[in-house]
Structure formats: C-alpha cells, structure tokens
Structure 1
Amino acid sequence: MKYPAISDKLFYKQLRSVIHDGLKSSIVHNAVSLYLMQFANYLVPLIMVPYLVRVLGPTGFGAVSFAQGFINYLMLFVEYGFDLSATRKISVQRENLESVNRIALHVWAAKGLLSVVGFAVLIALMSLVPTLGEVRWLLLALYGLVLGNALFPTWLFQGMERMVTISVINLGLKLSILAGVFLLVKQPEDAVLYAGLLGGGSLLAGLTGAVVAFWMLGLRIGRVSASGVWEALKDGWLLFLSKASVSLYTAGNAFILGMLTNHAVVGYYSAAEKIVRSLLGLLSPISQAAYPRFSKLAAESKEKALIWGRRMLLLMGSAGFAISLGILVGVNIIVSVLLGSEFGPSVTVMRILAFLPFLIALSNVLGIQLMIPFGKDRTFTLILFGAGVLNVCLAVLLTPKWHEKGMAVAVLLSEIFVTLTMFLYLIGIRLSLISVKKRYLNTKI
C-alpha cells in the first residue's frame, strides 16, 4: 500500500493545529502543572548535579548513583503499573466519586503491601550481596524515595486531570531539598546525608500529597478488601512487566554498570545520563497530560485517536529532535560547565545518549499514547521486555572493555529497537499514523 507523503505545508498546518487546539483544551492546563512537577523531578536534580559532582567527586557521586540505581528497581516494584492502569481506570470513572474513592484506597493499599515486601528484599540482599552491603547506609537512607513514591498520588490527579495544587506542593518540597543540599553537603563524607535528604524529602512530599488528595477530592477512609487489592494488582500486572522491562535499559543502568566495573565509571556514566534524561524530561508533561485524553479517544473513536496521535507525533518528534540536536552541538560546553574537568569521559557518553530524546519522543507516542489506550498492553510489554534483555546482554558484552561508553551504546541500541518495533507493529495492525486519511486531518478533537 502506498501511503500519502507529508508535505512541508501540511506539516506546519498540522503543527499549528495541534498547538491551537491544545491551548483551548484541558490538556494544556494539566501539561503546565506537570511541567512544575517535572521541574521538581528532573531540573532540580540537574541544578544539583554540578555541585554534587564537585563535592563528592567521581567515586562518591558514583557510589550514590549505584545505590540509587538499585533503589530505582524497588521504586519500580512499588509503583507497579499503577501510574498507567490506575490513571486509565480513574479517567474513565472520574465522574463517579465513590468509584474513584474505592480505586484510590485499593491502589494505596497495594502500594503499601509492595513497600513492605520491597524493604524485606532490601534487607536480605544487603546481607547476601557484598557490593550492596558496602553502600548499606546509602540504600537505607534512599528507601524514603520508595515510600514517598508509594504515597504520592500522581496517578490519581492525572486521572482526574487536576494537577495544579499537587504540582506546586511537589515543587516546593523539592526546592527545599535543593536548599538543604547546598547548605549541608560540603564534603565527600556527606554522601549519606545527601541520600537522607532525598529520601526524607520524598517521604514528606508523599505524605503531603496524600493528605491534599483526600482534602481536594473529598475522599474518605473506608474498608479495603483483599479482592480489591488483588484486582488493582491484576489490572497493573502487564503494565508493570512493561515498566520492569524498561528499567533494564533505563532506571538500573548505574546499578548494572556498578556490578561490572567500579564507582568512578558509574560516576562518569551517571552524570551524563542524568543531564540527558533531565532534558528529556521536558517532553514528559505533554505526554502525561495527553494520556488520559488518548484513553478516552481510543474508546470513542479510532479515527480521532489516530488523528490526535499523528499530530502528537509531529509535535513530540520535532521537540525531541531539537533537544537531541542541542545536546550534540553543545556537549563539550555542557560537560565543561556542569561537570568539570574530572568528568572528561562523560563527553563521549553524552554524545551517544544525545539521540535518546528524539527516539523516546517517537516511541512514547507510539507506545503510551496509542498501543496502551487501544489495549495492546501485552505486545507493548513484549517489545519492552525484548529491549530490556537486549540492553542487559549488550551491557555484559560491552562494558567490561568499553566501560561507560559500552553502557551508553547498549542503551542507544535498545531505544532504536523499541521505536522501530513499535512503528512496524502499528502498521501491521492498521493503526499506522501515516495512513490517516487526508479528509480527517482537519478534524477538531
């Protein structure tokens, strides 16, 4: 089949259309709120990185990053698939407060159960694995990140499309952590103190967010049943597997690298990755704000969902390309200014990872905005699992010889695999964005 080409005129017309339509929708208001949260979650750490790498040094910064890499696995375990499954469920039921209340209570209960299991696993592994035992105090201090994430109801406010207040709270608490780091962390020996600030701040943010959720949404404490918890776990199972697969080539790279090399190498890689992923975080609010709308569109009209998907692909792809190009052009200046002369090896790492924003922008639209809303959770999971296995295999092969550069190459190849596979799959099941008929392109969403 021959698909219609996209002319420059049509490209800019669609780009203007998505911006114009978006400004009149609730998506843009939620996106603005999510940008506040994203600033807290990504840009605040980015501001801290130049200070921390100089105070802690490559080895100290690498040790913290290694511990965070393992904690990221536990955070993923406790987050499960609720950020997608619960958001999707609440977005459909948001007019029924009783249903929202029941869903929220059971998701919190499930997260509480997983938090207890996660802590037990942490204690056991610190005793059994010497490499983890060496950073036990960092791990214990950072476990507050897991507990805070379990409490913080981002999924609830996303589903309700009410993000402003909770975003401001999150931003305020993260800025307090930033101030604490600058005031208290002064030498390499303060690594545990830094970890404690991160963990404690996250726990406080989670508690505050939960209280605000009850107050703003009129939630009530009620009976939680084992069947309800099981239902919540069952709903998020496939999405959890997909996120676990993603973590094999995102959240846990520092941990994998630390198991195969040393803390200094972890420091070189992690510093570059944090900067790239912080810049990549500029795209996340658009994606997160659009996801509930895509869930509704997919249930109402395949054609409308594909129209909006094509527009999103143009917008996200353009933004991702701009970020990638900016990193490639300015990599030497970025490393010199933000990291300093001790982190020379991070330049090559950042050059390799610079392609991630463009690739992830595309795969996010294809996967999160199309595959999941259309119920293709299982295939989505299989694709990400394949990418995760590919990343681990490549890491084991490449990092012993090429260290931080080998890990960066493994991550890049895994992201290429994800984007290409999703694109081909959607074409195969007739959900291709390329084949959207021209007569629908001016349809208002």
Structure 2
Amino acid sequence: MSLRLQVCQSNVSNYYIQEDILKNTRLLENIFSMVTLRAMEYILSFILVPYLLRVLGPAQYGAIAFMQGIIGYFSLCINYGFPLIAPRDIAQAKESDIPRLFSAYFWAMVLLWLLVSVVFFAGYQLLLLVYPVTLDLPLFFAVYTSVIGLVIFPIWYFQGIQQMRYITILNLSGRMVTMLLLFLLVRSPDDYVMAAFLMSCTPLFAGILSWKVIRDICPGILLKPVWKDMQATYREGWQIFVSSLAVNLYTTSDIVILGVLTNDTIVGYYSGADKLIGCIKQAVSAVNAAVYPYISKVMQESIERGLHFLKKQLMVYTVLGVLGGAVLYLLCPWGIPWLLGEKYIPSVGPLQVMAFVPLVVAMSNVMGYETMLPLGMEKIYSKVLITASIFNLIIICPLISWKGAEGTALAMLCTETMVTVIMAVVLWKKRILLR
C-alpha cells in the first residue's frame, strides 16, 4: 500500500470519527438542554402546582383541568401529526430546503387553527339552539390562549435543527414570567380564571420570543404559503394524526369523561395525582424529543447502529423506571398531604395506581416513537394506538363508575401497558430491537 493511499484512508477515518464525535456531542447537548428544561419545569411545578391546588381547591382546579381537556382537542387537531413528522423532515433535509419545509408546516398549522376555531364556535352556537349547554366562557377563553401559543411557537423547528437549548431558554423565560404573575395575582378560589389564563400564557410568551431567535438563525425563513406544499404536509402527517387522535382518547378524553360522569371535585383529586405523574413523564419525553431527530438521521445511515443505541436506552429506562415507580408508590401516602394538603388525601389512590405509568410510557416511546417511526412503520404504529384507544373506551366508564378517580388512573395504566406489550410483540416478530 502506498504512503499516499495510507494518508488518504487515515484522513477519511479521521473525518468519520470527528463526525461521530460531533453528532454525539450535539445529542448530549440536546438531551442536557431538554432534561434541564424538564428539571426546571419540575422544580417550578413542584413550587407552583401545590400552591395552586391549595389556593384554588379541588373544585376550581378541577374545573380548569376539565377545560384544559376540552382545549386539548383543539391542540390535537392543530398539531395534526406535525410534532413527529416535522422534526424528522427538517433533520433529514438539505439546508436549502428548510425554509420551504418550515413555511409549509407553519402555514398548515395556522390554517388548521382557523378551521378548528370556526367549526367549534359555529357548532357551539348551533348546540345552544337545541340544548342549553353550560360552558364557562371566561374560563374557556382563558385556556384557549394556550392554543395561540401552540401555533406561534414552532418547537418542532428547533427539534429538527437539533438546537434544543433554545426551547429550554424560551420555555423557561415564559414560565418564569407567568409563575411570578400567578403568585402575585392568584390569591383565592375566585381567581381561577386568572390562574387558567396565566397558566396558558407560557407557550404564548415563549412563542413571541422564539421569532426573534428564528430570524437570527435563518433570516427570511418564513415564505408565502404554498398550497401544494401544505397539502403534502397533511398527507404525510395523516397516519400520525390518527395515532395522536387515538392517544388523545385515552389521555385528554379520560379526564373529560371523568368530569362528565362525576364532578369538578373528583376531577381535582385525579388532576392532583396526574400533575405529579406528568412532571415525571415530562422528563422522559424530554429525552425522547432530543433523541428522535438524532435517531432518525442515524437510522438513515445505519439501522444496526441505531438499534444498538435504542437497546441501551431501553435498558436504562427500565432500571430507572422500576426504581422510581417503587419509590413513588411507597412515598406518596406521606408526600400528597405534605405537598397538596390534607384535602387532597383522595389523590393518594390514583397516584399509587399510576406510579409505574412513566416506566410503561418510556418503554412504549422507545419502541414506537423512536423505533417504528424512523423505520417508516407509521401504519403499524397507528393501528397499535387505535386498538389501545378502543380498549380504553370500553373500560373507562365501568372503571369510573366503580372507583371514580382511581378507576380513571387504572384505565390509564391498563391502556399504556397494552400499548407497550403490543409494540413489543410486533418488534419481536419482526426481529427488531428486542432480539
């Protein structure tokens, strides 16, 4: 072998080594950014949520949670399948194509926001002619603010360019402002509308700030809407939207069904437990959000290397999830009265039932979100979630009638477990990940 050939091979080898180091460094930075965000959100929630639960009481906090469930349908339709599809497309795109993709997804979301809002308000007016529906309109519009924030804060863009630190900075900035205002302005149960409004303002503040950052990163990124490009985003996101709709039927809808079948106080007991579980699930989703664009790109280059990474991640999740779930189950009878007050003791049961939900969700996210989607298995992913949502609809009402808030928690645990088991069986049969 000639000296020139050896030097050439050495340079190529060094190039790939440096490229891998750069990718891993960026991945670690993104994971650190997202975990830092979730950790800070957890700390702030640890301070704020108990304060709001104590000041507002189970009934008023339950009313907010119920309205957030209704607004969740707006978010579902507006998000479509974009939070999963857009980061992947942007991560895999050439730099010159990013403005076109960004504009297509952004304007597609704006159009969905306008359509959903018009349909809802027109439908509500028609319903009033037939049946006198009682809807707390001030509370509704207070929570509706979060929908505007959802549209104008393109988190999916920062995920796609793998710059999650901006999400961290912007989210925390918005959260700090709203948290300060909540402590200053919310002093009694009568302030529940103000509390709902300020809680919904975080994405709005973050979204406004994000456009300054976006202009600095990529000036002129927002182009005029092109219907053909928007149509393409709708086609590509359809399967994921169906999956998201299925997931919504056993997450957001459960709390709405609980409110319809019981009352705001019981919703408040369930929400107290659900908020604490949500803090843990946010930490898991932070890692998933950072890994997803990275693993999508790695899968393009080497499926074997991507699966090797995911197996390690699954192992870490399993160990931490088992330990964390056991600790949460044992400590919550003492922790709930200390954090939320004696009036929230009925939240202990639902929290114990959901203690291992973060573990189950973490495992299903690795197998579905991080494995099936990058491998183009959207249809299978969608079918699994649709099956689970049908199962949830079958069990949720009997379980609520039997155990109320604990029944809702049990329905959540059973449904999430079913999702994980089915995904594991599918990947096992296809000799992916679990072999």
Flag whether TM exceeds 0.5 (same fold).
Answer: yes
* C-alpha deviation, 1:162, in angstroms: 1.0
Match of 1:185 in 2: 186
Q: Which deviates more from structure 2 when the two are superposed, residues 173-182 or residues 131-140?
A: 131-140
CA distance in 2: counterparts of 1:75 and 1:131, whole angstroms: 26
The letter of the residue matching 1:78 is: I
The answer for the alignment partner of 2:309 in structure 1 is 308
Deviation at 1:167, TM superposition (A): 1.7
User: Which aligned runs of 4 or more in structure 1 are off by greater than 4 angstroms?
Assistant: 21-24, 39-43, 129-132
Q: Which residue of 1 aligns with 2:60?
A: 60
2:348 is aligned to: 347
Match of 2:114 in 1: 116
| 8 Å Cα contact 2:164-2:290 kept in structure 1 | no
Determine the structure 2 residue equivalent to 1:29: 29
1:320-369 deviation digits (Å, cap 9, x = unpaired): 22321221121112211121111111101000000101111111111111
Correspondence 1:320-359 to 2 at 5 A:
320-359=321-360
Report the counterpart of residue 49 of structure 1 in structure 2: 49
Q: Following TM superposition, by how much is the alpha carbon of 1:43 offset from its aligned partner in structure 2, in angstroms?
A: 4.8
After the TM superposition, which residues 261-300 of structure 1 pair with which residues of structure 2 at under 5 Å, given as runs? Answer: 261-300=262-301
User: Aligned residue pairs: how many?
Assistant: 412
8 Å contact kept, 2:171–2:202: no
Counterpart residue type for residue 105 of structure 2:
V
CA RMSD of aligned residues (A): 2.0
CA distance in 2, matches of 1:256, 1:137: 22
Does the aligned pair in 2 maintain the 1:34–1:167 contact within 8 Å?
Answer: yes
Note closer, same or farther for the CA distance 1:372–1:43 as it changes in structure 2 (3 Å cut).
Answer: farther
How far does residue 222 in structure 1 lie from its aligned partner after superposition?
2.1
Partner deviation per Cα, 1:301-328 (whole Å, 9 max, x = no partner): 2211221111111122222223212211
Residues in 1 aligned to 2:46 and 2:232: alpha-carbon distance in whole angstroms: 38
Per mean C-alpha deviation after superposition, the further-off stretch among 227-236 and 277-286 is 277-286
Q: Deviations over 1:234-293 (max 9, x none)?
A: 111111111111111223322121111111110011110110111222222221111112
Whole-Å Cα distance in 1 between the matches of residues 291 and 368 of structure 2?
Answer: 13
Distance 1:52-1:122 versus aligned 2 partners, 3 A rule: farther
CA distance in 2, matches of 1:345, 1:173: 32
Checking the alignment, whether the CA contact within 8 Å between 2:104 and 2:229 is kept in structure 1 is yes
Max Rg structure: 2
User: Residues 85 and 23 from structure 1, CA distance in 2 versus in 1: closer, same or farther, beyond 3 angstroms?
Assistant: closer
2:7 matched residue in structure 1: none
| Alignment partner, residue 105 of structure 2 | 107
Secondary structure of the residue aligned to 1:87 is helix
Q: Which moved more, 1:275-284 or 1:410-419?
A: 275-284
The worse-fitting range, judged by mean Cα deviation, of 96-105 and 38-47 is: 38-47
Pick closer, same or farther for the CA change 1:38–1:149 going to 2, 3 Å. farther
Which whole-Å deviations, capped at 9, do the CAs of 1:92-123 have from their partners, x for residues lacking one?
Answer: 01xx3331111111111011011112222432
Verify the 8 A CA contact 1:283 1:361 in the aligned structure 2.
yes
1:38 CA displacement: 2.5
Q: Equivalents in 1 of 2:320, 2:288: separation in Å?
A: 12
Q: Distance in 1 between matches of 2:424 and 2:22?
A: 25
Tell me, in whole angstroms, the C-alpha distance in 2 between the residues paired with 1:238 and 1:301.
25
SS of residue paired to 1:221:
coil
3-state DSSP of counterpart to 2:394: helix
Give yes or no for the alignment of 1:38 onto 2:38: yes
Deviations 1:399-432 (A, max 9, x none): 1232111111111110110010000000111213
Percent of pairs with identical residues: 31
Q: Distance in 2 between matches of 1:76 and 1:260?
A: 23
Specify every segment of 5 or more residues in structure 2 that has no aligned partner in the other structure, as ranges.
Answer: 1-20
Q: C-alpha distance in 2, partners of 1:208/1:132?
A: 38
Query: Is the alpha carbon distance of 1:168 and 1:32 closer, same or farther for their aligned partners in structure 2, counting shifts above 3 Å?
Result: same
Residues 335 and 26 of structure 1: is their aligned pair in 2 closer, same or farther, counting only changes over 3 Å? Answer: same
Alpha-carbon distance in structure 2 between the residues aligned to 1:141 and 1:40: 25
> How far 1:131 sits from its partner (Å)?
9.2
Provide the C-alpha distance between the structure 1 equivalents of 2:132 and 2:27, rounded to a whole number of angstroms. Answer: 45
SS of alignment partner, residue 225 of structure 2: coil
The alignment partner of 2:223 has SS state of coil
2:73 is the alignment partner of 1:73: yes
Query: What's the CA shift for 1:60?
Result: 0.5
Conservation of the 8 A alpha-carbon contact between 1:238 and 1:377: yes
Letter in structure 1 aligned against 2:63: A
In the alignment, is the contact (CA less than 8 A) between 2:384 and 2:419 conserved in 1? yes
Q: State the AA in 1 paired with 2:375.
A: F
The offset of 1:124, in angstroms, is: 3.8
Q: Secondary structure at the match of 2:325?
A: helix
Residue identity in the other structure for 2:262: T
- Residue in 2 aligned with 1:247? 248
